[in-house]
Amino acid sequence: MNDRHGGERGLTVKVKSKQKASSRRWLERQLNDPYVRRAKAEGYRSRAAYKLIEIDDRYKLLKKGMRVVDLGAAPGGWCQVVVDRTGAGADAVRLVGIDVLPIEPLAGATFLEMDFLDDAAPGRLIEELGGAPDVVLSDMAAPTTGHRRTDHLRTMHLCEIAADFALRTLRPGGHFLAKTFQGGTENELLSSLKQAFSSVHHVKPPASRDGSVELYLLARGFKRRASPETEDGAENEAAE
């Protein structure tokens, strides 16, 4: 029998070990997660790939020939989806990803091992991409503390910085997708995005775990820039 995620329903795996209870619960969740099993079977680097697949299947963000920036790209699951759906390849790099963690090479992608909060990072991304992006993706999230309010604020800070980058660099008609957490402090960000995009709303793809507070903020149809300046000539590229 198949479950609703398309994986085979199997026996629940219980882990017996001397690890802490929280570590044991995490391991059990991984072992019993149908998306984890699918990712291994289908060659994706992480279960997160299915979040982007499900969002893109519904909203059609990624198209052949698009340039894409992926913020917080490690281990590269989203990048695999982007390369496949944009037709990027070794001779046509159309994706640049950035993360503080190393990422295994992927044909069609360039990876920067650096902190996106580094002042030099936005310029490097545009330089490596060779022009303004059509899509800015961000799966960045601050390490969780277990305190819901604190975790929300820290991840919202990253979301706001990613949004600022998108507003300064996106081509007209472009899209922005970023992880956030439920918590209700994003009104100012939402207001800014609604002025600059044709539509803005929250999305929770089926691949997001039921108990997770994560949401994705999706802004489609970029209309204008937040300021007359942009990173390293991206504005000139977008005007072509």
Contact of 224 with 196, CB cutoff 8 Å: yes
Contact of 227 with 62, CB cutoff 8 Å: no
User: Which is the catalytic residue, given 20, 60, 179, 194?
Assistant: 179
Q: Confirm or deny that 84 is annotated as ligand binding.
A: no
Of 177, 221, 216, nearest to 197 by C-alpha is: 221
Gap between the Cα atoms of 207 and 50, Å rounded: 6
The neighbour count for residue 54, using CB atoms within 10 Å, is 16
Q: Look up 60 and say whether it is catalytic.
A: no
Q: What is the number of residues in the chain?
A: 240
C-alpha pair distances (Å), 216 with each of 33, 140, 200, 201, 233: 21, 11, 11, 8, 29
Q: Confirm or deny that 76 is annotated as ligand binding.
A: yes
The residue type found at 93 is: V
Sign of CA dihedral 112, 68, 119, 152: negative
Q: Confirm or deny that 99 is annotated as ligand binding.
A: yes
Catalytic residues: 179
Residue list for the binding site: 76, 78, 99, 115, 139
Residue list for the binding site for S-adenosyl-L-methionine: 76, 78, 99, 115, 139
